[in-house]
Amino acid sequence: MNLIDLVENNEQHPVYRELESSNLARHYDFLFSIINSAIGIQRPFISTAVVKALNFHAIVGLYESAGKYRAGEVQVGGFMPVPHYKVDSLMNDCINQINWQWQIMNPIDLAAWALWRINWIHPFENGNGRTSRAVCYFILCVRAGNLLPGENVLPELLRRERDEYVRALRHADSHHGDVTPLTNLLNTLLNEQLP
């Protein structure tokens, strides 16, 4: 049994919120450690295992499915992500595409595409946004060759601008993966983050 069951699916319960906050700190510690490792070896190593680990750190203790691809169908607002049986192959394709485009695409375009694509696949029962924002930030930092400076980091700025972020994701959903609004949002928020 996990905390979400014990608080009767109430994500606003103070104990749930406290564990969620603790998880976020560990999630960022793990994210920063893999960014530094990739920079240290001068090679990106984004993989399905890393993506699953990012999700695990985000929701462990809250949900039984932490770090595991979802086993059933979900609905996100009015959006129906892909059927669960397609998640594994689509995530493999997504990671392969990120790695293949690593040196070819502009880093902000690649980060925006990865952010959208992981959200579109919606591979996990919970924590998809946190996981995709972490992958996005991984791409940007590793391509820059260092952790990006600034007090408020991009994943948190995206959470703050949730309405615009969701609109940009939905635009890409309905326009065959056109991530232009998402790229514009990333540019704006990076300009805010960077001193």
Specify the DSSP class assigned to residue 79: B
First-to-final CA distance of the chain: 44
Chain segment 129-140, per-residue pLDDT in tens: 999 999 999 999
178 and 171 Cβ atoms separated by less than 8 Å: yes
Chain segment 6-21, per-residue pLDDT in tens: 788 888 888 888 988 9
Residue with tokens 């750190």: 57
The SS3 of residue 68 is coil
Buried b (16+ CB within 10 A) or exposed e, 32-66: bebbeebbeeeebebeeebbbbbbbbbbbebbebb
Chain segment 153-195, per-residue pLDDT in tens: 999 999 999 999 999 999 999 999 999 999 999 999 999 999 8
Cβ neighbours of residue 185 under 8 Å, at least 6 residues apart? 158, 161, 164, 165, 168
| Confidence (pTM) | 0.94
Report the CATH superfamily, name and number, of domain 3-193. Answer: Fido-like domain (1.10.3290.10)
Looking at the DSSP bridge assignments, the partners of residue 124 are 69
Chain segment 28-74, per-residue pLDDT in tens: 999 999 999 999 999 888 999 999 999 999 999 999 999 999 999 99
CA distances from 130 to 8, 104, 159 (A): 22, 26, 9
Domain ranges for the chain: 3-193
